[in-house]
Each structure stands twice: as C-alpha cells, then as structure tokens.
C-alpha cells in the first residue's frame, strides 16, 4: 500500500476521532461564531471609508478577523494540544510500532486541520454575509483569499508541530527563537529572494524548514 493511500486513510481516521470528541468540535466551531456575534453586534454597525473612497461595513472586518482566529485555533492550538496529548498517552509511541510511516501520520494531521480551517472560514463568511451583510471577495480577490487561507493554515500547522523554520533576517530569528520556534537557516540578503535561497540551501544540506 502506497504512502499516499495510508495518508488518505489516516485523514479519515483523524476526522472520525475529531468528530467523536464533542469538546474539541465545540471549541473549534462554536467559539469563532460566538466571538463574531459579540463583536459584530456591538461594534460592527458602522461603515469605514478607505483612502481610495471605497466604503465597506465594519462587520466585514470582524468576519475576516474571526475567520483568521478560527484558522489559528484549528491549525495551531488544536494541533499542538492534540499531538501533545497523544504523546503523553503513548499513542505516538504505539504508532511508531506499526507499519504506518511517521510522515503519513503527520501529513494526515496537517491535511485534516487544513480541511477544518477551510470549513471554518466558509462558515464564518456565510454567517457574516447572511446576518451582518458582510462583503465577500469575488473574482481575483476570491482566488487570492483562497491562497492566503491555504498558505496560512499550512504555516500555522507547521508552527503547531514545531517544525524547523527559515528566517529572513537576524531580528526575525531572535524574535522567533524567543517565542520557542526552531530557526535552522537565516537569509543572507534580507528580502524574499534571499529567503528562497536560504530555504534551498537548507534543503540541500538535509534540513527541512517550513
């Protein structure tokens, strides 16, 4: 059986375990909507005018904020807590004794939380559009929003698993290490191109920064 098939099956098992834990499902799905209702009801009744003259509802801001909060909750908080609990319970050690590769297990966990984050963003956006007349992105803005959600959820999942990261400069490295992140490579030139080259160098040396 291929590793891809094992990963797909593990995603299904992880999803079943998630929905069979009512507490995890409640805090993951209800909290963002609860905060959205509170903030949008109290502070989202006005409008904001941008420098280009465009106006949008303040509720749109809170819908986007709670969507980001839900992604962080699903991909960072829940993943870190869930893997830690499984390690304390000895589940990870028992998993290592099975034919399931570690990459398939971790990959399934990451894919599952990314699916949950996409579902949460859709729920928050639909809830804000139905009840608070929030503006939703269309066209190219929608495509960019989808890319941001995918990249953001994968990044927060990497942070939740404490995967090694690449840094764009010494200030970022110092701040990242102060917050417990594992920085394995730092860009020589502090721009996007330098960061890409640093990641390539780390990959050639055997590291895998996220």
pLDDT digits 0-9 by tens, 132-150: 888 888 889 899 999 999 9
Quick one: 106 and 193 in the same domain?
Answer: no
Quick one: 150 and 173 in the same domain?
Answer: no
Q: What integer pLDDT is reported at residue 43 of this predicted model?
A: 80
Quick one: 171 and 149 in the same domain?
Answer: no
Quick one: 25 and 115 in the same domain?
Answer: yes
Pull the structure tokens for residue 165. 């990261």
Cα distance between residue 10 and residue 102, in whole Å: 11
The string of DSSP letters for 6-71 reads HHHHHHHHHHHHHHT-HHHHHHHHHHHHHHHHHHHHHH-SSEEE-TTS-EEEHHHHHHHHHHHHHH
Cα distance between residue 91 and residue 81, in whole Å: 14
Q: Is residue 210, in this structure, part of any structural domain at all?
A: no
Quick one: 115 and 194 in the same domain?
Answer: no
The pLDDT confidence band at residue 57, using thresholds 50, 70 and 90, is confident
User: Count of alpha carbons within 13 Å of 79, Cβ hemisphere only?
Assistant: 31
For tokens 């903030």, name the residue.
39
Quick one: 29 and 54 in the same domain?
Answer: yes
Q: Is residue 125, in this structure, part of any structural domain at all?
A: yes
Quick one: 20 and 66 in the same domain?
Answer: yes
Confidence check: pLDDT of 209 > 70? no
Give the residue-averaged pLDDT of 56-72. Answer: 86
Q: What confidence tens digit (pLDDT) does each residue in 102-126 have?
A: 888 888 998 999 999 999 999 999 9
Q: What integer pLDDT is reported at residue 84 of this predicted model?
A: 80
Q: Is residue 132, in this structure, part of any structural domain at all?
A: yes
165-167/183-186 β-pairing: parallel
Structural domain range at position 192: 165-204
Quick one: 115 and 150 in the same domain?
Answer: yes
Quick one: 67 and 101 in the same domain?
Answer: yes
Q: Is residue 209, in this structure, part of any structural domain at all?
A: no
Quick one: 42 and 107 in the same domain?
Answer: yes
Coil/strand/helix, residue 133: coil
Pull the structure tokens for residue 129. 């559009």
Quick one: 143 and 182 in the same domain?
Answer: no
58, 48 in Cβ contact below 8 A? yes
* pTM value surpassing 0.75: no
Q: How many domains does the chain have?
A: 2
């Amino acid at each position: 059986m291929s590793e891809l098939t094992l990963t797909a099956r593990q995603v299904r098992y992880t999803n079943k375990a998630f929905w069979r834990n009512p507490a995890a499902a409640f805090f993951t799905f209800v909290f963002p909507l609860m905060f959205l209702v509170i903030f949008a009801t109290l502070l989202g009744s006005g409008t904001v005018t941008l420098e280009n003259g465009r106006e949008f509802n303040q509720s749109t801001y809170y819908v986007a904020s709670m969507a980001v909060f839900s992604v962080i909750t699903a991909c960072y908080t829940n993943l870190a807590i869930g893997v830690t609990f499984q390690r304390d319970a000895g589940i990870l050690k028992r998993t290592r004794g099975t034919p399931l590769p570690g990459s398939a297990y971790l990959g399934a966990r990451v894919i599952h939380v990314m699916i949950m984050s996409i579902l949460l963003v859709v729920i928050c956006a639909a809830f804000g559009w139905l009840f608070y007349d929030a503006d939703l992105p269309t066209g190219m803005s929608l495509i960019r929003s989808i890319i941001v959600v995918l990249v953001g959820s994968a990044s927060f999942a990497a942070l939740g698993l404490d995967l090694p990261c690449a840094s764009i400069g010494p200030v970022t490295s110092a701040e990242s290490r102060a917050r417990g992140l594992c920085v394995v490579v730092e860009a020589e030139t502090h721009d996007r191109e330098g960061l890409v080259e640093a990641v390539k160098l780390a990959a050639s040396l055997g590291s895998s920064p996220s």
